[in-house]
Amino acid sequence: MRDSFSLTYRNISERKARAALTILGITVGIGAVIALVSIGYGMEESITGQLVEVADVIMVTPMRMELGTVGTFGSFTDRDLEAVDRIAGVKDAVAMRGEMEEVEYRGETFMVQIVGIEPRDITAVFGETVQLEEDGGAGTEASGRALRDNDHKTCEIGYSIAKDYFDDEIDVNDRITINGSKFRVVGVLAKQGGFRSNVDSAIYVTTRDSVSILDNEDISIIFVRVRDIGEAEEIAAEIEERIDDNHKLDDFTSAMTMGSAIEQMESIFGILQAVLIAIASISLIVAAMGIMNTILMSVMERTHEIGVMKAIGAKNRNILSLFLMEAGVISVIGGVCGCIAGVIGAHAITFGIQAAFDVEIAAIVKPEVLIGGIAVAMFVGILSGLYPARKASKMSPVEAVRYE
């Protein structure tokens, strides 16, 4: 065993350039796969990560949750909210009222999403994340303060509203006109971006104010927090039933648990990743051909040597394992290098994406991916070394020795 190792080592180091190129081939292939998988996990994490924090939340909307259907069937009433609140296992039920309204600032008017919510419920809806960033956790510090329960005619505005919508930037204590009545800006929310960019382009007011501006008491979304995440699905079903009963309609409400939302996204990411990896694996096939080529040449060059080995008593098995070992060592080295290259590549690419699109993604390198990468490399190496190694082992010693 040790002998075959040192023989392998000698062979590889004898033809350095050839071995290096072969290793480089498999490095590139494995590197590509590792990088893609790591970036994929990073993207998935950056999207579902925000949701995991609020995994005990059920989002209740008056619409059918389907791909491609736009618009809502109507709205909820206070009676629905009470009914939801009464369901066992519900910790909190929070109503959000929202509608597009005209907002004017220094002579410019835009339609903006106005969201009415009880200030004390904001944490329940957004989890801790928005607040944390407000405290300066992520560098983009928010200014001003949060809404308070007894605020009147005041609002918190999203980042894009403050910076992008109007020609002039809006600051804390500026006044904006929402649907004809004046509001004072008390706080500017930190930039959310990415998956929660809708927060950036909304204006938040208290429920009382929203009822008076919007001139109705319609509730557009109910957020429900449950005590036990395990019961979330059942509670969601019960919520749907109760509200549908209230409105005497079938399929009016859809209550989606964050758990199922995460699951849906994970399955989409799974498909996406599988496609990308499949395409990247094409380079592994090409690398496998490179290995086969190298080992074939190594066999050819050493025909004489093989003959001698056989003549002095080496069995077919010994020859086979010798060449398989060579292929395996080359590919494992390639696999290890590929892992390193892949991790570096993944970090470089996510950094590039961050710089270019302003979304925060950090490549996630899972140890099982690295180990898998090396295992795949080894597998590929041994498979593609099999044909040349068999060829070598089946040589007739007499003819092999005669080979010049």
Residue 73 or 379 with smaller CB distance to other proteins: 73
Instruction: List 182's β-bridge partners, or say none.
Output: 177
Amino acid at 126: F
Cα separation values, 85 from 9, 206, 333, Å: 72, 20, 61
Q: How far is the CB of 2 from other proteins (least distance, A)?
A: 29
Residue 25 or 259 with smaller CB distance to other proteins: 25
Residue 89 or 403 with smaller CB distance to other proteins: 403
Phi, psi (5° rounding) for residue 89? 95, -10
Residue 113 or 129 with smaller CB distance to other proteins: 113
Residues that bind other proteins (CB under 8 A): 17-18, 21-22, 24-26, 28-29, 32, 36, 64, 66-74, 100, 102, 108-111, 113, 197, 201, 248-252, 276, 279-280, 282-283, 285-287, 289-290, 292-294, 296-297
Residue 43 or 186 with smaller CB distance to other proteins: 43
Residue 282 or 348 with smaller CB distance to other proteins: 282
Q: How many other CB atoms sit within 10 Å of the CB of residue 403?
A: 14
Q: How far is the CB of 36 from other proteins (least distance, A)?
A: 7
Q: How far is the CB of 130 from other proteins (least distance, A)?
A: 20
Residues ≥6 apart with Cβ < 8 Å to 46: 194, 195, 359, 360, 361, 362
Task: Render 146-199 in DSSP notation, one character per residue.
Answer: ---TT--SEEEE-HHIIIIISSSPP-TT-EEEETTEEEEEEEEPPP--GGGHHH
Q: How far is the CB of 180 from other proteins (least distance, A)?
A: 12
CA 27 and chain centroid, separation? 25
Q: How far is the CB of 32 from other proteins (least distance, A)?
A: 5
Amino acid at 357: F
Instruction: List 115's β-bridge partners, or say none.
Output: 98, 204
Residue 62 or 127 with smaller CB distance to other proteins: 62
Q: Which helix (H) or strand (E) holds 250?
A: none
- DSSP classification of residue 225: E
Q: How far is the CB of 313 from other proteins (least distance, A)?
A: 29
Q: How far is the CB of 391 from other proteins (least distance, A)?
A: 10
